Every structure is written in structure tokens, then in C-alpha cells.
Amino acid sequence: MVMALEGIKVIDLSRLAPGPYCGMILGDLGAEVIRVEAMDKRARAEGVLGLSDELAEMLRAFNPQGRNKRSIVIDLRKEEGREVFMRLARDADVIIEEFRPGVVKRLGIDYEAVREVNPEIIYCSITGYGQTGPYAQMPGHDLNYIAMAGALGVIKDERGKPVFPSNLLADMAAGGMHAALCILAALVARSLHGVGQYVDCAMTDGVVSLMHMEPILRHTSGLRGLPYYDVFETADGKWFSVGNVEPWLWENFCRALGREDLIPMQREVDRYDDLRAELRAIFKQRSRDEWFEFFKDKDVCAAPVHEVEEAERDPHLREREMFIELEHEKFGKITQVGISMKLSRTPGRVRFPGCGPGRHTDEVLAELGYNEAEIGELRERGAVA
């Protein structure tokens, strides 16, 4: 069965989180993704993370961001390495990079240079603050971007201290997923209008977009502080989420508990502390999983707070194939996250797990027209590995 992006060729220069996740999405949808990796291990993800060779190999096997991608190692600082890259770019559809603004231009592989050999290229740069603006050259990570965009200011604990929600918002949503959306839009535009283009994808911009409702709600509490939209500790010390915002769902919830006297309290703001105390006492009466079994068929918004390993075992997520098993040549069966985009006619597929750096260097070079002697010469000169 054909896949949605079958026939699309992507060159992935990225290294940490946003770009590799973007490439994963495109690869899952059928694109041919070639990962161009740095010659120096310290510049690759495992070097940045300080991993040993053994741990790096294991990470690449289990990390879904490397799947469906072939790997070639090129030294882009060498003229011969840049020539290899430009040969790759000549018949590519998409290039993804996440260097600091100006780096690809200094290397001679920026959008303008690539457009000279491939006018229809879609060239996506993923950065923290974008290519323009006073913060463009500042380094940063997810925490900094969500702080700048205002997201961290609305995620606080009971003392008012901002709480960091892992690196989900900027890196994954506003970075990788946002970039994939931009690239897909550019591919549609090219198919309709015949033009390639440059995509300036800033993670901070993406977080601001995710925050689009906050300016409207800034004079209200929004959903924060509502006792009927909260998490409660259960008898076994675990947590359970309740989100019955709509009056009819709140009524269903209260009737299921046999506490119809709580129904009017949803509208009585001055009694919210009392309502929260009542709910805390109620949820202490059963375990988290007992509460979920109780509420599953009551037509209410209620769900257990799972740890990651518990989510992997959840029967609904398993049936939805959100956790899948792959066969790895060294590590045997490995579990990875599945494909969230469920397309009926052109479904995505995980074809192979991630591999070591340079695994496909010779194969890719041969496809570009280099013969064995030329490949050997490139390797001797340190242009590829």
C-alpha cells in the first residue's frame, strides 16, 4: 500500500529533538529520509549527551527519532564534503537544519546556495528564536523558549513557582510537529503553484501560537483553579484526573457518586474550597484504578494519571497501535511509540529502526554516482565516514 509521502526525499541535518522528531514524522508517512551526521562524535547527539559508544548504540536502536532514516557521515567543513551534500540536495525535496542562524551560510549550504542547484527545494530551518529579531543569535533550549513565550508563566505549582513540563511544548510540539506542518504546507504549495520556498520555523513562535487563547483568558482563571477540572490523590497514593467542565458532565459525575448535593456548587465560586475538600475526601476512598473502572461507563471526563510505563501497557493505546514492537538485529524486539496519524488510504509505517552513524554512507554515495575509487578517496580525505 502506498504511503502519503512516498517519493519525497528529505535531507535531515538536525541533531537534537525538534529536527529529528520532524524527520521522524515525515519518514513515518513514507518519505525517504537521509540523515546527514557530523564527522565529530562530540557534535552528534550522543556526544552532546555524553554517552558511551555502547549506550549510544542502544539509544539509536530504541529512539524512534532515528527510525526510517538512512545515515551518512559528511564533514561539511571540507569542500569535498560540501560537494557530496550539494549532490544530495540536487534531487531532494526537503532539507531540515537546526543550526544557529548564519551557520549554514558560512558552510555554503544555505537556502540560496541550494536553490541555485534545486529551485524547487523546501528548506526548513528550525531555531529557538527564528532567523530575525533581537534574540535570533541567542542560544536556548525548550525551557527558555516556553519561558519567553509565556507558557511557563501559566504552569505553576501551589506556591506560584513555574513547573517545567518536560520538553514537550517547544521541542516537540512547537518545534518538530510545527516544522512538519510547515513542510507539508510547503509541499502542497509546490504541488499547486510549482514553487519551492524557505521555511523559518522558530520554536518560540510556535509556543506563542499554542498559547493563542491565553490573552483572551488572562482576566479570568481559565481552567486553572477549578475544582471540577483538577487531579486528586487516591487511596493508593496515585492520582486521578477529573475534567467535567460542561454542566451536564458535572451532573453525571455527581450522580454517579450519589452526591447530587454537589451539583449546584459548580456555579458557587465562593464555595470552591469546600468543593475541592469534598472531592479530595471522596477520592481517598478508592484506588486510582478502582476509580477508573467505576467512571468508565458513567459518561464523565475522568482518567487515571499514568506513568509512562503504565501508558505503554494501556489496552486502549495498545489497540490504537500507539506502542509497537520492532525487530532489531542486535537488541531483538524493541518497543517504540507508534504512528499517531491514522490515514485510511495511505497509512504510515515503521520500516526499520535507527542505525549507527554512517551506516549507509557507501550506499548513498553510490546512488549519487560515486564509484568505489571515488568513495575511497573521499574517505581518505576525511570528507565522509
Domain endpoint, select from 313, 338, 358: 313
Regarding whether 281 and 187 lie in a shared domain, the answer is: no
Query: What is the residue range of 46's domain?
Result: 9-212+320-380
Domain CATH for 277: 3.30.1540.10
Contact present, 286 and 235 (Cβ < 8 Å) = yes
Domain endpoint, select from 262, 279, 313: 313
Count structural domains, the chain.
Answer: 2
Regarding whether 82 and 13 lie in a shared domain, the answer is: yes
Distances from the Cα of 358 to the Cαs of 17, 81, 334, 346, 368, in angstroms? Answer: 20, 13, 22, 30, 15
Catalytic residue among 171, 178, 205, 360: 171
In tens, the pLDDT along 178-204 reads 999 999 999 999 999 999 999 999 999
Give pTM, 2 decimals.
0.94
In tens, the pLDDT along 94-132 reads 999 999 999 999 999 999 999 999 999 999 999 999 999
In tens, the pLDDT along 204-219 reads 999 999 999 887 776 5
Regarding whether 191 and 114 lie in a shared domain, the answer is: yes
State the average pLDDT over residues 31-56: 79
pLDDT tier at 40, thresholds 50, 70, 90: confident
Regarding whether 246 and 176 lie in a shared domain, the answer is: no
255-274 burial, b if ≥16 CB within 10 A, otherwise e? eebeeeebeebbeeeeeeee
Q: Nearest 5 degrees, angle CA 120-CA 125-CA 131?
A: 115
Regarding whether 234 and 118 lie in a shared domain, the answer is: no
State the average pLDDT over residues 376-383: 96
pLDDT tier at 366, thresholds 50, 70, 90: very high
Residue 42 has pLDDT above 70, yes or no: no
Regarding whether 266 and 290 lie in a shared domain, the answer is: yes
Residue 171 known to be catalytic: yes
Regarding whether 260 and 178 lie in a shared domain, the answer is: no
Regarding whether 46 and 157 lie in a shared domain, the answer is: yes
What's the confidence (pLDDT) of residue 46? 63
Three-state DSSP class for residue 18: helix
Residue 272 has pLDDT above 60, yes or no: yes
Catalytic residue among 141, 306, 314, 328: 141
Regarding whether 206 and 144 lie in a shared domain, the answer is: yes
Domain endpoint, select from 313, 334, 354: 313
Q: Which residues are paired to 54 by β-bridges?
A: none
CA gap 242, 244 in Å, rounded = 6
Residue 331 has pLDDT above 80, yes or no: yes
Q: Picking from 213-217, 222-226, 321-325, which range would have the lowest pLDDT averaged per residue?
A: 222-226
Regarding whether 110 and 47 lie in a shared domain, the answer is: yes
Residue 362 known to be catalytic: no
pLDDT tier at 48, thresholds 50, 70, 90: low
CA gap 103, 110 in Å, rounded = 8
Domain CATH for 147: 3.40.50.10540
Regarding whether 233 and 283 lie in a shared domain, the answer is: yes
